[in-house]
Amino acid sequence: MDEEAAMALRKLTIDPENFTECRVEAAGQARLPTELVILVFDFACPPPPFLKTASDQGASACWSRALRTKKALTHVCKAWRTLALPYLYEDVVLDLSRQVLALARTIRERHPEIGPLIKHVHLALPFPPPEQLPQVTLSEIAFVLRGTPNLTNVTFGTAFSWWYILKSSSSLLRPLVDALSTVGTRLQSLELDVPKTNIDLYPAHSLKLMACFVNLVSLAFPVPQGWGFGEEQDIRGISFPKLEQLQMICTPGGNLRLVISWSLPCLKALTVTGTAQYVLDREQYEDLLEQHGAGVEYLDVSQRPSFHIKHVFETAHLCPKLSHLVITHIDIPALWIFIQNLDHDIAHPSLCDVDFWAKDGGALRSILAFAETSILKNARVLDVDLFGQLRHLPRLVGPATLLPPGEVVTYSLPTFNIVQTRHLITMNGPQN
């Protein structure tokens, strides 16, 4: 379990001695101690990693429901409002241009209070926007980025055509490009998904801009077809000295070799995923691991196992520090395809945990129980219905070795529950 996940799961501990500070300030009126109020907030508001919005969908149902709860907490009283505002503003999703304008106005009018509370901005609105002049929206987005000194995470959704934005040759687009360059040194996480338009452009400008984010710890970006190597000087020399987590989102024809020339000395977690019809290129994948696999401890290759599952296990040695492997097991009509690889020799010195995403977790677990290899016998199976909601669930809930046999843990989220046992994680309840 990484540090962020551990912090998300950590329960607030209250020192009983602090409750002695709770005094009656007037007859019949008592103020709850701050520690107890914060405990109420932590119970009512799930940790942000469990509310993480998908970059291709914008605000999730869980995030929206939690937002209503946070707003309600700010209306209880003045004391609660002050304590609840950080919960309300720490994670902002902008679906419409008018939301951008409203947030910018709020920051202008109450900058000392609101601006510093924002840590994550998710740009899920369509761009170019149909209901507002593009330059007005861009100017206000740039203002928001500059007016949030504690901003560490920026997400671009698929509807927000950042390809169009990052063509810095256009003077109308300079405000946002300049703002991103300005905040680049304090960003720790950047997420870019495959945009719905302009996916065939060469990424020279965007890669140059990404290179200014020297303090990134986490980066997710698309690798679509058409990102060629016609201007290799534009992608060579890119360095992320602090990057620990890299996610590559591939479309059919995407080339994983795009990042081979990059410097990633601290890489610990690598995720290779793809859109529909993407098939993992074995040679590109192997070249990627040969270049950047030395320090990788967490590897997530979420594609159709019938195409690559054996190859993933055969190349695991290219990640000598690998301890946690995640593979997707989706839309395979016959389990025999998977059974053929069950007892493949997995001779790896540090690999301890293997997770599979599957539609029928119970059936897959029954097969895994008969595996001769202990790593597969003890592998976890994750309900694929949770895949879209919590893409990084394998890291959020931690490896199987952390949960004792027979123990059941339930995570209650606003629209559904997650039930975890040692070998199975399922979704329980509707997603209304």
Lowest mean pLDDT among 43-52, 76-85, 90-99, 389-398: 43-52
pLDDT of residue 120: 92
In this structure, are residues 258 and 272 in contact, taking their beta carbons and an 8 Å threshold?
no
* pLDDT of 1 above 60: no
* pLDDT of 318 above 90: yes
* pLDDT of 17 above 50: no
Q: Which amino acid would we find at residue 345?
A: D
Distance CA 297, CA 220 (A): 17
Question: For the packed helices 97-114 and 134-146, what is the interaxial angle rounded to 10 degrees?
Answer: 20
- Per-residue confidence band for 106, with pLDDT thresholds at 50, 70 and 90: very high
Average pLDDT, rounded, for the chain: 77
In this predicted model, which residue has the larger pLDDT, 295 or 16?
295
Domain residue spans in the chain? Answer: 217-225+239-431
Taken in order 296, 300, 305, 307, the sign of the CA dihedral is: negative
In this predicted model, which residue has the larger pLDDT, 12 or 115?
115
**Alpha helices per DSSP H over 122-203:** 134-146, 162-165, 174-183
pLDDT of residue 295: 97
What's the mean pLDDT in 358-376? 79
What's the mean pLDDT in 344-368? 80
143 backbone dihedrals φ, ψ, rounded to 5° = -65, -40
Residue 305 in tokens: 């196992």
Lowest mean pLDDT among 61-65, 258-262, 267-271, 359-363: 61-65
pLDDT of residue 234: 53
pLDDT tens across 140-192, in order?
999 999 999 999 999 888 777 665 565 545 566 678 878 888 888 899 999 88
What's the mean pLDDT in 125-138? 70
**CA 120 from centre of chain:** 12
Most confident listed range (76-80, 94-98, 118-122): 118-122
* pLDDT of 29 above 60: no
243 backbone dihedrals φ, ψ, rounded to 5° = -65, 125
Place of tokens 């309300």: 88
- Per-residue confidence band for 87, with pLDDT thresholds at 50, 70 and 90: confident
In this structure, are residues 110 and 102 in contact, taking their beta carbons and an 8 Å threshold?
no
Distances (CA, A) of 130 to 74, 127, 137: 33, 8, 11
Stretch (H or E) spanning 72: helix 61-74
Residue 255 in tokens: 């080339």
* pLDDT of 56 above 70: no
